Amino acid sequence: MERGGALLHLSCLRVPTSTPVYLLLGERSGNPPKSMFAERFRSFPCWRGGFHNMYKALHKSQYAMNVLSSCEPQEVEMDGKEVAKSNFLIDCEIDQQCVVGGIVALGKFDALHLGHRELVIQASKAGIPFLLSFVGIAEVLGWETRPPIVAKCDRKRVLSSWAPYCSNIVPLEYHIDFAKVRHLTPRQFVERLSKELRVGGVVAGANYRFGYKASGDAKDLVRLCNEYGLSAYIVGSVMDKTQQCFQNGGSVASNSSDRGQVSSTRVRNALAARDMPYVAELLGRKHRLVLMLTKQICQFAKSTIIAPKSCMLNQPPGDGEFNNCTLLLDDVSVGLCRLVIDSHNIKIDMDCRIFSAIDVVQDRRCIAIEF
């Protein structure tokens, strides 16, 4: 299983701490200077009941910036640039709330599988949930590059589907450039979480490793978070109930650390074996393959689309034929289709009426296939 893979069943290992609001306001003695977010929010008439309640309310709204500006005609920047010192946090966008005071789930969230979801559920019980993971690990460590399990453009949809499990809050995710933190000791990493990102707490799996050469484990995380005034929640593994094995390629387990827990490795192996019901069990949803169609390299004829594998934005199932798949445009189902995937192309056959009713020939149009 990959490092930091998500896990299930709370093991009740928690470090008592002050509420995240103190981290936001910076009012405890010895804390860093007062948060610029807290100071700016104090100027608004809508400041009631502390920052945490407002933050939670804003997080539920896709119009968070509009809500803020309606309180007072002042300019407020919520893009996190002032918090993300030295580009520690690389994707705090203008339309997203920052991780200040939130509870961050730590891991490598490639598949967004059931175990990952449970980490976020636990984070939502303690505060505002976020996913915090590294990018660029493969390039830095020289690993083989692989297509993601979930297309980048599809991740927000998956996270939105988790909201009912997370107090109706859609968790946001942020990424850290692995190259800039790979040499940090476990202590230095937690110190950055506390002093630069000013998170309220962390959630991690029992097998989570962090710090230079993965020298820190879950116990170290708890100890260090306690020292820096952060809550720490350690969550036990979501186990694969089927313990399924494949005839071609053997067991889904790929290393000695695999003890039967749900992992991205299991998802990848199940995809390669074309066992789509099993993939759905591991993910907690059907797998969705996303393609970007380009006129120059795709063929459109009658009710058939033939596209090279280079159009795929995430990992497809293994080569073969798939019937009764769902074709989606803009997240809307438009009908059933049949797929044939070979070593070079993917062929999509659909009903003529469906093909004529949709504009799939539009250049760089993204379509999705759900299995």
**Number of helices followed by number of strands (H, E) in the chain:** 13, 15
Query: Do 220 and 263 lie in a common domain?
Result: no
**Average pLDDT, rounded, for the chain:** 76
Q: Would you say residue 4 lies in a domain? A: no
Q: Would you say residue 221 lies in a domain? A: yes
Average pLDDT over residues 294-317: 91
Instruction: pLDDT band for 88, please (50, 70, 90 cuts).
Output: low
Q: What is the pLDDT of residues 148-161, one digit of tens each?
A: 999 999 999 999 99
| Residue 101 pLDDT > 80 | yes
Query: Do 92 and 215 lie in a common domain?
Result: yes
What CA–CA distances, in Å, run from 92 to 37, 65, 191? 14, 14, 19
Instruction: Please tell me the distance from the alpha carbon of residue 204 to that of residue 17, in angstroms, as a whole number.
Output: 17
Cα of first residue to Cα of last residue in the chain, in angstroms, is: 24
| Residue 211 pLDDT > 90 | yes
| CATH code for position 160 | 3.40.50.620
Coil, strand or helix at 248:
coil
Token pair listed for 349:
């056959």
Expressed as residue numbers, the domain containing 89 is 10-235
- The β-bridge relationship of strands 129-135 and 103-106 is parallel
Average pLDDT over residues 126-136: 91
| pLDDT of res. 281 | 96
| Residue 289 pLDDT > 80 | yes
352, with CB counted inside 10 A (0-12, 13-18, 19+), is exposed
Query: Do 278 and 260 lie in a common domain?
Result: yes
Question: E strand or H helix at 237, and its extent?
Answer: none
Query: 80 versus 131: which is more confidently predicted?
Result: 131
Instruction: pLDDT band for 90, please (50, 70, 90 cuts).
Output: low
| Cβ 263 vs Cβ 1: under 8 Å | yes
Q: Which domain-ending residue is among 215, 235, 255?
A: 235
Query: Do 69 and 204 lie in a common domain?
Result: yes
Q: Would you say residue 159 lies in a domain? A: yes
| pLDDT of res. 300 | 83
The reported pTM is 0.73
Query: Do 230 and 354 lie in a common domain?
Result: no
What CA–CA distances, in Å, run from 234 to 11, 110, 190, 284? 6, 20, 15, 22
Average pLDDT over residues 294-300: 85
| Cβ 263 vs Cβ 115: under 8 Å | yes
| pLDDT of res. 241 | 81
Percent of the chain with pLDDT over 70: 67
Query: 254 versus 314: which is more confidently predicted?
Result: 314
Partners of 337 in the β-ladder: 325, 350
Query: Do 115 and 213 lie in a common domain?
Result: yes
Query: Do 18 and 135 lie in a common domain?
Result: yes
Instruction: pLDDT band for 360, please (50, 70, 90 cuts).
Output: low
Average pLDDT over residues 277-302: 92
Query: Do 187 and 324 lie in a common domain?
Result: no
Query: Do 220 and 342 lie in a common domain?
Result: no
Q: In the chain, how many domains are there?
A: 3
Q: Which of 257, 267, 296, 326 is nearest to 147 (CA)?
A: 267
Coil, strand or helix at 215:
coil
- Max Cα distance, the chain (Å): 71
Query: 339 versus 303: which is more confidently predicted?
Result: 339
Q: Would you tell me how many other CB atoms lie within 10 Å of the CB of residue 28?
A: 11
Residues 6+ apart with CB under 8 A from 181: 88, 134, 189, 192
Query: Do 253 and 309 lie in a common domain?
Result: no
Instruction: Please tell me the distance from the alpha carbon of residue 366 to that of residue 328, in angstroms, as a whole number.
Output: 9
Q: What is the pLDDT of residues 4-41, one digit of tens each?
A: 443 333 333 444 443 333 333 333 334 433 333 333 33
Query: Do 143 and 52 lie in a common domain?
Result: yes
Q: How many residues does the chain have?
A: 371
| Residue 236 pLDDT > 50 | yes
Q: Which of 292, 283, 300, 316 is nearest to 352 (CA)?
A: 300
| pLDDT of res. 296 | 84
Query: 66 versus 301: which is more confidently predicted?
Result: 301
Q: What is the pLDDT of residues 162-189, one digit of tens each?
A: 999 999 999 999 888 888 888 999 999 9
Q: Would you say residue 2 lies in a domain? A: no
